[in-house]
Structure 1
Amino acid sequence: MLWHILTVLSLAPFLVYSLDPAFNDDVMGLIVFKAGLTDPKSKLASWTEDDPTPCNWVGINCYPQSNRVSEILLDNFSLSGHIGRSLLRLQFLKVLSLSHNNFTGNINPILSQIPSLRVIDLSHNTLSGSIPDEFLQQCTSLQSVSFANNNLTGQIPQSLTSCSTLQRVNFSSNHLSGSLPSALWSLTSLQSLDVSDNLLEGEIPKAIEGLYSLRSINLHKNKFAGWLPENIGNCVQLMSIDLSDNLLTGGLPQSMRRLGFCTNLELRSNLFNGEIPDWIAEMKSLKVLDLSANNLSGRIPTSMGDLSLLKELNLSNNYFVGSLPRSLMKCSNLVILDIGNNFLTGNLPSWTFELGVERISLSGNRFTGHINYPSISIGASYRSLQVLDLSSNELSGEIPAAIWNISGLQVLNISRNFLSGAIPEAVGKLNATRILDLSHNQLNGSIPNEIGSAVSLLELKLRENHLSGTIPADIANCSSLSSLDLSHNNLTGPIPPEIAKLTILEVVDFSFNQFSGSLPKELTNLSHLATFNVSHNHLKGELPVGGFFNTISPSSVVGNPSLCGSVLNHSCPAVHPKPLVLNPNSSDPNHASVTSLGHKRIMLSISSLIAIGAAVFIALGVVVVSILNLHVRSTMALSAATFTLSGGDDFSHSHGTEANLGKLVMFSGDADFVVGTQALLNKDNELGRGGFGAVYKTELGDGRSVAIKKLNITSLIKSQEDFEREMKSLGSIRHENLVALEGYYWTPSLQLLINEYVSGGSLYKLLHDGSSERSLSWQQRFNIILDTAKGLAYLHQLNIIHYNMKSTNVLIDDGSTSTKIGDFGLARLLPILDRYILSSKIQSALGYMAPEFACQTVKITEKCDVYGFGIMILEVVTGKRPVEYMEDDVIVLCDMVRGALEEGRIEECIDGRLQGNFPVEEAIPVVKLGLICASQVPSNRPDMEEVIKILELIRCPSESQEEID
């Protein structure tokens, strides 16, 4: 309030002397607005209260006739502060554009009261809070609103119906959640809707079919699921559709053939299935068609060649078969062609080079034959080619010399084929190429010296070929190199010191070659090194000292027996012999040796003393440990013997008996143990061990089997009151997919949990135990995933985080074939939920633990369970452990599957025991769901209720469609 008063007082002379009161409102409103801003670049220096009109101020436009302010255009002014109510004085303001600044706080709903306001753009700021409901309730003439790229949360208000004049809405790149409000579909004037990059979910409502004026819709990067509305083609004026990066399924609705004005159709990264219909050619205005990363199959229709305006075609990462239709040659405007990671066959279509495109990717298919482009050097259409990716096919023969004549080529990737022959000297003509990948072929000969002429190279990958000879010193001319991979070849000679001139190198891999000599000391000058691997060569001498080499991993230099240095725990031999020191006071020539012998005797005595002392210390330790073990065993036996057997049927009045040392409580059923209390913890009855203790099987008097978990007492609750409170809470939980807690036993030194016994054993054992005779079918695996999701979702409804979600804690019931989650809630027994204590408790969960466990500043939520569940999905589908240790490598399942998906090899990851007996249309979406759940960013992971819905959609897409209809 004081600030407002001071501002008004500063304007007092102007208020007195101005001739036109109407101008007072505009000037005063803007000056007060400026007073609340921080203007670091003095962009608003021309705004002074001495001017009778603001029409000449920077960023201000006025109506010519009345000189009243019509537009405030302050985009990219680096302004910060809050947007106050002083702008209400500008009664004729039509456009308010404050984008790309640093405004903070909430959106001021008072702005909607400016009666003439048509356009408001507050995008690219740091506004927070929700979109005010009253803002939209009061808008009467607003036509365009953009709050994009802020930090807004909450849902999109239903009050949008009040803005009947709205034509353009952009709420993209925020954190908005919930579903699209039904109010949107009553905005009959709406032409553009962009809510991309948010957390919106649900289905796309059928009501969209009534927006006949809609020209652009962007729902990219949300969590929308279900099928596309069948009559979306009623929006006949649609020109741009972007629904990519969602969970949409089903096929393309036939009504889309009526979208004759549509220029952009982007549906990538969804779960769409079926074939591309022939009628796609009726969308004749298409310039961009992106159907990549879906589950589409069948042949690519020849009718697609009728899309004469097409500039970008991306059908990668699907399941298309057959050959690439030659009719695409008619698409004379094509700039980008990406058909990678499918199952296309036949000879490599040479006519693709005649299209004159800038980017071609045919990678990850099954093309065969040679690369035959005899006229490539003279055809003008090839000059525009910038990216050529033919990797991961079955191509053979030599690399044609004509390829090296493509002067504008920036990326050439022909790796993972069966190409042979030598790398020609013409490689030096690629002076614009940034990435050259010839790895995983059968190339021979040497690396030509002319490689140094490819001065723009950022990455050079020649690994896994049959190359020989030395590394040419001219490679130092490739000063932009950041990655150099020559591994798995037959290269010889020393590593040239000229490598040190490549000052921005980050990755160097020379492993598995025949290099000899010592490592150049100059390599320590490579300050950007992240990886340097020279393992399995014939290098010798001392490792360089300094820089990256002070912390180099031993695995990066292993396999070089003559290398030495502290990293290898192999000290280098001294360069000079040790000096011989004689006693100058002695004339006896044998004195030196006698003195030396005396020293040896002294040293021997000291060593003997140390050895004797150590032996005594160890002996004492053994005695102490033995005594402690005897004490613990006697305590355990005494504790077990104190069981007083009773039972009860009513949880709220559970029976228990107090003894001097123990208390047994059963929530239901009989507490009479057939084997007797002394045999409860018999080693022969042990089922397994986990982070919180060992588990034993026994029987009750009524014939039921139970599993007894003996908790580790370290770091667990010592208070009986706290322990019993947690037990009663866990004992009240009943769900068909959760292991029931039947009772518990308490002493200060021994705590037992009495759980329901699940006969089929753990999921881990079924998947990985070679002795198991059971081989899970796809149907069983899917049911396990779905049942586990239901159990975990129920826990999350109760605000219980499992913390230890892994396949050993998922149990399979032989009798009912149901799946049950065990060991939930045990982390609550820790006195303080310290993540480091917790990590030590569940260290066996390597591979399942969400990355946020490693960061103290990140809150642990239910999303860490979702991560473990995602890894479990991948484990169930692939049959592989989350982390597998090979002889020379460590394979992380999540990384392996994600890489296979990107390379179009995902079917190779499916468990071989299924032998192809699985529905691809289910398996691939389930894998994708697992990867989404195992996202590194917690906010990108769905919650378990969403997971259940997605799984049900994957299994029954037709039923889901019927529900939608």
Structure 2
Amino acid sequence: MNLLSSSPSSFWGNPDLCVSCLPSGGLACTKNRSIKVCDSQSSKRDSLSRVAVALIAVASVVAVFVLAGLVCMLIVCRRCRRDLGIEHDAEIAAQEDPSSLLHKVMQATENLNDRHIVGRGTHGTVYKASLGGDKIYAVKKIVFTGHRGGNKSMVTEIQTIGKIRHRNLLKLEDFCLRKDYGLILYVYMQNGSLHDVLHGTIPPQTLEWSIRYNIAVGTAHGLEYLHYDCDPPIVHRDIKPGNILLDSDMEPHISDFGIAKLLDQQSSASAQSSLVAGTLGYMAPENAFSTKKSKESDVYSYGVVLLELITRKKALDPNIVEWVTSVWSSTEDINKIADSGLREEFLDSNIMNQAIDVLLVALRCTEKEPGRRPTMRDVVRQLVKRNASIRGKRS
């Protein structure tokens, strides 16, 4: 059927039918009113409106799905971080900036390669990092058995420990915590630990009484500071020669203060909650079957260290407390107890009497009953008083 040759009456009954007017050469507009002329602008507007509505609808649906996805991701991430005990990455003190000290130390140790290990202890492995010149650091890697090393409370406590300053406490330079391990950075102590000096070489290196006495007094000052000048007070929980480090002048620096407590807390939250804190030979009798520690237990451990300084025997070689107590009670002869390397010095009665005073302090510190032990403040007072009296006699 040829629509162009059809008469207008052929299209009657189609009220919405219209015809478009075309330019010359196309369909001409008729004046016949039987078929209305299409409004080309209205048609275009209707077409554009439908496209715009469709685009807006699609964009809205996509936006809803994207927003829902972001919300779900946020919830999941928060739950994961909470489960890992991690609250704020910035507070984990990763110090991963290439200019950071910890980053340089990691490079110097080839990411903690075993050949840089200088010691292993109860709380982890120690690596030595030389950065050139006299810049030498020690990095202690500690493993968290509870797998919650990155939690905010632990970060806060280590940051607090890092603010503690005392000449006989090892300064924390930097740290990094992760979910299952941590790195603690200290200045490297040139003379190693007191354990190394007392027992690490054969034959043993010469260790004059004056040096031993200064180590005893300095360690006492450090413990006194932890017990009475920190808020809240800090119980070390693992005093032993291995945690007393000696600088180039043989000045003692207590290490790992506060760390033992944090690790005990991690263990108590894990399946290993039955572990006993401390080191055999240095633990107070009341702590043999308990993780609970007190100032009195630190005093006991310090007393064992004093006995090692005097005798140069290890804590379990045999049980040093029982052996010294027995020999002293039966003979009261310090020469039967003290390191043979001190006998010549003991010809000076002032030195021998000072050593006896230290021995008596050690025996008081290692009393079985916690209430009978002196405080670290009492210990410092007694040691300093005796030292002052000897200086007075020599002058």
Q: What TM-score does the superposition give when structure 1 sets the normalisation length?
A: 0.29
Q: Percent identity?
A: 31
Q: CA deviation at 1:768?
A: 1.0
Structure 1 residues 709 and 675, CA gap change in structure 2 (3 angstroms): closer
Out of 345, 348, 356, the residue aligned to residue 917 of structure 1 is: 345
Q: CA deviation at 1:840?
A: 4.4
2:260 paired with 1:820: no
2:119 paired with 1:688: yes
Larger strand percent: 1
Q: CA deviation at 1:925?
A: 1.4
Partner of 2:186: 755
The gaps in structure 2 that reach 5 residues or longer are 1-87
Out of 188, 195, 206, the residue aligned to residue 764 of structure 1 is: 195
Out of 323, 338, 347, the residue aligned to residue 896 of structure 1 is: 323
SS of residue paired to 1:936: coil
Structure 1 residues 772 and 724, CA gap change in structure 2 (3 angstroms): farther
Q: CA deviation at 1:852?
A: 1.3
Out of 697, 700, 706, the residue aligned to residue 128 of structure 2 is: 697
Say whether the 8 Å CA contact 1:710–1:752 is kept in structure 2: yes
Distance 2:180 2:132 in 1: 26
Partner of 1:867: 300
Partner of 1:955: 387
Partner of 1:789: 220
Say whether the 8 Å CA contact 1:662–1:747 is kept in structure 2: no
Partner of 2:205: 774
Q: CA deviation at 1:957?
A: 2.3
Q: Write out per-residue CA displacement over residues 787-830 of structure 1, whole angstroms, 9 at most, x where no aligned residue.
A: 0000111111221000000011111112x321101111112323
**Amino acid across the alignment from 2:321:** C
Structure 1 residues 940 and 839, CA gap change in structure 2 (3 angstroms): farther
Say whether the 8 Å CA contact 1:875–1:881 is kept in structure 2: yes
- The structure that has the greater radius of gyration is 2
Distance 2:164 2:376 in 1: 18
**Amino acid across the alignment from 1:818:** E
Structure 1 residues 791 and 838, CA gap change in structure 2 (3 angstroms): farther
Partner of 1:733: 164
Distance 2:316 2:166 in 1: 31
Structure 1 residues 860 and 751, CA gap change in structure 2 (3 angstroms): closer
Distance 1:739 1:679 in 2: 24
Distance 2:96 2:356 in 1: 47
Structure 1 residues 772 and 907, CA gap change in structure 2 (3 angstroms): closer
Q: CA deviation at 1:763?
A: 0.5
Larger helix percent: 2
Q: Write out per-residue CA displacement over residues 909-951 of structure 1, whole angstroms, 9 at most, x where no aligned residue.
A: 1101223313221111111110100110111111111101110
2:365 paired with 1:938: no
The gaps in structure 1 that reach 5 residues or longer are 1-655, 885-890
Out of 315, 319, 334, the residue aligned to residue 906 of structure 1 is: 334
Q: Write out per-residue CA displacement over residues 219-263 of structure 1, whole angstroms, 9 at most, x where no aligned residue.
A: xxxxxxxxxxxxxxxxxxxxxxxxxxxxxxxxxxxxxxxxxxxxx
Partner of 1:479: none
Structure 1 residues 834 and 747, CA gap change in structure 2 (3 angstroms): closer
Partner of 1:744: 175
Instruction: Compute the RMSD of aligned alpha carbons.
Output: 3.1
Distance 1:774 1:908 in 2: 21
**Amino acid across the alignment from 1:893:** I
**Amino acid across the alignment from 2:181:** L
2:140 paired with 1:706: no
Q: CA deviation at 1:677?
A: 6.6
**Amino acid across the alignment from 1:914:** L
Partner of 2:315: 882
Say whether the 8 Å CA contact 1:849–1:867 is kept in structure 2: yes
**Amino acid across the alignment from 2:300:** Y
Q: CA deviation at 1:774?
A: 2.7
Structure 1 residues 673 and 892, CA gap change in structure 2 (3 angstroms): same
2:361 paired with 1:926: no
**Amino acid across the alignment from 1:916:** E
Partner of 2:58: none
Q: CA deviation at 1:874?
A: 0.4
Structure 1 residues 958 and 776, CA gap change in structure 2 (3 angstroms): closer
Structure 1 residues 902 and 697, CA gap change in structure 2 (3 angstroms): same
SS of residue paired to 1:820: strand
Partner of 2:5: none
Structure 1 residues 747 and 833, CA gap change in structure 2 (3 angstroms): closer
Partner of 1:806: 240
Structure 1 residues 706 and 677, CA gap change in structure 2 (3 angstroms): closer
The number of residue pairs the alignment matches comes to 294
Q: CA deviation at 1:713?
A: 2.1
Q: Write out per-residue CA displacement over residues 860-911 of structure 1, whole angstroms, 9 at most, x where no aligned residue.
A: 3111000000000000001001111xxxxxx211111111111113321110
> Relative contact order (alpha carbons < 8 A, sep ≥ 6): 1 or 2 greater?
2
Residues 278-317 of structure 1: matches in 2 within 5 Å? none
Distance 1:695 1:761 in 2: 11
Distance 1:710 1:678 in 2: 12
Q: CA deviation at 1:676?
A: 1.4
Say whether the 8 Å CA contact 2:124–2:140 is kept in structure 1: yes
Distance 2:311 2:338 in 1: 5
Q: CA deviation at 1:675?
A: 6.5
